[in-house]
């Protein structure tokens, strides 16, 4: 009986020590890095995409946000979401930030807070190589235009009188629609069109018309979140220490325009 009691005591003691250690680990876990949950829609090369047969997210935005996270002492975790799900996901707290070549617009500014701009983009029209009828936005009147849901390209297409706007979840589907001749044109961000034209679209498609609307891209966070300030601080530091330029040159082959 005595022996049993001693054994029980020992066991309890062990359990207490183990629990104590566990508790300690939790509170002392400050050296375990905090996670920054970042949402994106990854069919937007060269900003965010997945290489063939790879689950990893790569591109300019992906490298930039990882560098920003590192600067903030945080580990970046990327979540693959629909483009039109990004803003709702910020507001529900499912993600902390969204980086997705997202243009800073007045309408979006009502729903979320943006960081400082990290890239200046614009929209363009893409048609198949054999199409000589479409040279400008005006020529799209009454035509079929393929776009990604919830984008500024979709808004632009909707402004064309009589146009039939075909909306898709991914840009892979958007370009497929064009090359299957189920759409006359695509309206999309120019750097994404240019990247596509030297890869999958090579020999098939071309850009037409002037670049429309200067669109600055920003990182979105929940409305009024103080995270925007922290991101801005990190971004400014990366611009100062040359890291931003390095990432920019890697993806665009040239130094960013000074502005």
Q: Smallest distance from the beta carbon of 43 to ligand ARG, in angstroms? A: 6
- Note whether 189 binds ligand ARG by CB under 6 A: yes
Q: Which of residues 86-105 bind ligand ARG (CB under 6 A)?
A: 100-103
Which one of 38, 41, 140, 175 is in contact with ligand ARG (CB under 6 A)?
41
Which one of 151, 175, 183, 201 is in contact with ligand ARG (CB under 6 A)?
151
Cβ proximity to ligand ARG, 36 vs 62, nearer residue: 62
Cβ proximity to ligand ARG, 33 vs 197, nearer residue: 197
Q: Smallest distance from the beta carbon of 20 to ligand ARG, in angstroms? A: 47
Site string for ligand ARG, 201-240 (x = CB under 6 A): --------------x-------------------------
Count other Cβ atoms within 10 Å, centred on residue 236: 13
- Asked if 238 and 244 count as a contact pair (C-beta separation under 8 A), the reply is yes
Which one of 89, 113, 124, 152 is in contact with ligand ARG (CB under 6 A)?
152
Cα→Cα distances 71→87, 169, 170, Å: 24, 32, 31
Distance in angstroms (rounded) separating the CA atoms of residues 98 and 79: 9
HEC string of 87-156 equals HHHHHHCCCCEECCCCECCHHHHHHEEECCCCEEEEEEEEEECCCCCCCCHHHHCCCEEEEECCCHHHHH
Cα→Cα distances 167→1, 72, 158, 170, 187, Å: 77, 37, 10, 9, 11
Which one of 36, 48, 113, 166 is in contact with ligand ARG (CB under 6 A)?
48
- Note whether 83 binds ligand ARG by CB under 6 A: yes
Distance in angstroms (rounded) separating the CA atoms of residues 174 and 180: 10
- Note whether 63 binds ligand ARG by CB under 6 A: no
Beta-strand relationship, 119-128 and 205-217? antiparallel
Q: Smallest distance from the beta carbon of 118 to ligand ARG, in angstroms? A: 12
- Chain residues binding ligand ARG by CB under 6 A are 40-41, 43-44, 48, 83, 100-103, 148, 151-152, 171, 189, 215
């Amino acid at each position: 009986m005595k022996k049993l009691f001693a054994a029980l005591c020992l066991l309890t003691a062990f359990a207490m020590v183990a629990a104590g250690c566990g508790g300690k680990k939790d509170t002392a876990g400050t050296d375990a890095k905090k996670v920054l949950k970042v949402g994106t829609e990854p069919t937007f090369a060269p900003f965010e995409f997945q290489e063939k047969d790879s689950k990893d997210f790569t591109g300019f935005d992906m490298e930039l946000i990882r560098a920003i996270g590192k600067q903030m002492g945080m580990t970046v975790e990327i979540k693959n979401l629909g483009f039109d799900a990004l803003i709702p996901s910020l507001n529900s707290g499912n993600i902390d930030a969204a980086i997705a070549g997202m243009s800073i617009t007045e309408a979006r500014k009502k729903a979320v807070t943006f960081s400082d701009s990290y890239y200046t983009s614009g929209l363009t029209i893409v048609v198949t190589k054999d199409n000589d009828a479409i040279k400008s936005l005006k020529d799209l009147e009454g035509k079929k235009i393929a776009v990604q849901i919830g984008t500024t390209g979709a808004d632009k297409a909707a402004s064309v009188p009589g146009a039939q706007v075909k909306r898709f979840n991914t840009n892979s589907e958007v370009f497929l629609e064009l090359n299957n001749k189920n759409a006359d044109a695509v309206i999309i961000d120019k750097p994404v069109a240019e990247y596509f034209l030297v890869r999958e679209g090579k020999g098939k498609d071309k850009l037409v018309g002037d670049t429309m609307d200067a669109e600055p891209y920003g990182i979105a966070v929940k409305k009024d979140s103080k995270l925007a300030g922290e991101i801005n601080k990190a971004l400014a530091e990366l611009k100062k220490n040359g890291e931003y330029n390095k990432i920019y040159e890697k993806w665009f082959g040239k130094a960013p325009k000074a502005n």
